Amino acid sequence: MRYYLCIIAMLFCIASQSQQTAIIIPANIDSFISFNKTFELNESKQAPPGKASFEFKPGTRKILFIAGHATAHKRNGEKKSADNGTGALAVSLNKLVNVPVLYTTFLSESDPNTEDNNAFKDTLAKIVSKLKPIFVIDLHTSDPSRPYEIDFGTLDGISFLNRKDLFEKLKNIFKNEGLANQSKDFFSAEKHKTITKFLHGKKVPCIQLEINANNLNPEKGNLQAQRTAQLLQGLVRFVNTSVK
């Protein structure tokens, strides 16, 4: 009898999750587009004298979002394009659920995802030491031709440390939002000196979130706008149900 009651409770929980009221409204996507235009405008510009090429916005939540490729960056002396939309996503989340976010704002002379000796990671180390986040999500963009909606980089299953519960919650929330085509460790964050590897070394639970670019281009049309709304809504729900 207890077994059947557990099954019924589980099914009720799943049904409740799938019938939640929508959170994101068109104005939120309009704001996303506006934020993204600023990032695109400054993507390849040098930071003004005396100003850093990145910015930290504080928040009251214990989940930290990072967008170290929100603008163009130099890797081995060559300029690499930005992960378009990741900066706008970080700023949107800061506005909507008051999470702390660290993101680039101008051309980065050093790639924080392949090098450790730079101001971005120095600042990140200070932030996590003070904030002590329960989870960190490092935002990246995957080519639109990738077959997945989301790829989770987990250092082959160890980056989230003892917070596998939050990792599983994030996966399930994305599925409920329509982002069911998921991949794990296609980009494992194991290569290079990634943010995820850097934080794992500091015993901070972290994942590298590779987002299909189709989910971060709402300007391209109605379908892309809906995909961005689904992605943003999933992350908002994740924050709201993970920390109070």
| Of 109 and 55, more confident | 55
**Domains of the chain, each with CATH number or no CATH:** 22-242 (3.40.630.40)
Provide DSSP, 187-238: T-S-SSS-HHHHHHHTT--EEEEEEEGGGG-GGG-HHHHHHHHHHHHHHHHH
Query: pLDDT tens, 11-22?
Result: 444 444 556 899
Amino acid at 209: L
Q: Is the pLDDT of residue 1 over 70?
A: no
Find the mean pLDDT for residues 119-130. 96
pLDDT at 244: 54
> Tokens 């603008």 — which residue?
71
Choice among 13-27, 57-71, 85-99 with the minimum mean pLDDT = 13-27
The span from the CA of 93 to the CA of 23, in Å, is 13
Amino acid at 212: N
pLDDT band at 203 (very low <50, low <70, confident <90, very high): very high
Query: pLDDT tens, 20-47?
Result: 899 999 999 999 999 999 999 999 999 9
Query: pLDDT tens, 164-186?
Result: 999 999 999 999 999 999 999 99
Residue 88 CB burial class (10 angstroms; 0-12, 13-18, ≥19): buried
Q: Measuring CA to CA, which residue among 128, 119, 114, 134 is closest to residue 55?
A: 119
Query: pLDDT tens, 145-168?
Result: 999 999 999 999 999 999 999 999
Around Cβ 240, how many Cβ atoms within 10 Å? 13
Q: Mean pLDDT of all residues in the chain? A: 91
Considering the entire predicted model, what is its pTM?
Answer: 0.91
